[in-house]
Amino acid sequence: MDKKKFGERLRELRKSKTKLTMKEFGQIFSLAESTISGYENGARMPDMEILDKFAKYFDVSLDYLLGRSYSPSSIPERQSDDESIFFFDQENITEEEMEELKKHLDYLRYRASQENKKNQ
């Protein structure tokens, strides 16, 4: 993990979204001001539990928070069917089988969206 990139993102989010001081922000998570400073300066890295709390607090993805994505969205971009099926051995799949895979993929996405709606 890139401590420096994470620190930059954390500082940027804290200042732009909350306008809180490091001390005030740390109090929300029961962390000392010096701990937040260490994160923002790239000297320290929080554990996954704290990273997850930060991402939820700012409503961003962990990938964005860690500097692995330019999009703050916590919803991953949808791949095209062709991109998803790319991972299959296409030489051994007929056109009909490829279409069947696309239908299954659409169904699984639909089911996942319905499950997400239920859980909200």
Whether residue 22 is found in the same domain as residue 59: yes
Residues 7 and 40 in one domain: yes
Instruction: With respect to residue 75, please indicate whether it lies within any of the assigned structural domains.
Output: no
Q: What angle do CA 114, 110, 105 make, to 5 degrees?
A: 150
Tally of domains in the chain: 2
Helix axes 3-13, 33-40, angle to 10 degrees: 120
pLDDT value at position 105? 76
> For 62-82, what is each residue's pLDDT tens digit?
889 998 887 776 445 555 555
Q: Residue 71 domain-assigned?
A: no
Tell me the average pLDDT of the chain: 83
Owning domain of residue 19: 3-65
Q: Is residue 114 a part of any domain in this protein?
A: yes
Is residue 73 included in any domain, yes or no? no
- Say what the pLDDT of residue 78 is: 53
